Amino acid sequence: MPPWAQRRGVTVEASSSADAAGYEELLEGAESLAYLLDGLVADPLWSDAARVLLTGPGSALLTGALADTGRMPEIEICESAAGLAVLRAQVEDQDAVSWSQLADRGQRGEVDLAVASLALTHRTDDEAAALLGQLAQAASTVVVVESSRPDGLSPRAAEAALHSFAVTGAPLRDSEAIAALGARAGWRISRVVSLGWGVEATVLER
């Protein structure tokens, strides 16, 4: 059990799923992603993605970045009830997005592409693997956007690594670590897109 959970008796994922204030803290941690999404939305993987599922604290930022391209796919944002309450307030055109809870996602059809943006950052290995298993029921391709290593230019690089261990019980996960978690649900790594500042988009297929 990660140090954070040992002290509080609950993981960050479980806490933020039940409390909007906790999810808002995750959203604050995702703010820098806004400066890195241009490279992701310009990637060819969107060319055939008519229906897209987004999950994670970066979902509202990614929705905005896709809207800015002028070729907005049909977007479903899938999160916990607390996460949805927070993310709704961040999406400018709420009617352009459908909303669903992770607990009920199995009742919906498959999408062309799923994107987990900073959705693993606060999850333990078992929680991350469980999410990737849920996404395997929704899509045959998933893009996992995560900080894979500390930003070498940041004075807080060492702090980022320690924070990851405290929250998840694991160091920052690179693409190979994410692929290993995804392998439990049949995912295999296809390629990796570097977005900058130590953030990567790992493309998994099954």
Are 21 and 79 contacting, i.e. CB atoms less than 8 angstroms apart? Answer: no
Residue 150 has pLDDT above 70, yes or no: no
155 pLDDT tier (thresholds 50, 70, 90): low
Domain that includes residue 32, residue range: 3-205
Q: Which DSSP category does 94 fall into?
A: G
Domains in the chain: how many in total? Answer: 1
Residue 60's domain is classified under what CATH number? 3.40.50.150
pLDDT tens, position by position, 111-126: 999 999 999 999 999 9
Task: Of 20-24, 29-33, 162-166, give the lowest mean pLDDT range.
Answer: 162-166
Q: Which is more confident, 132 or 160? A: 132
pLDDT tens, position by position, 86-116: 999 999 998 899 999 988 887 678 999 999 9
Are 113 and 123 contacting, i.e. CB atoms less than 8 angstroms apart? Answer: no
Q: Which DSSP category does 178 fall into?
A: H
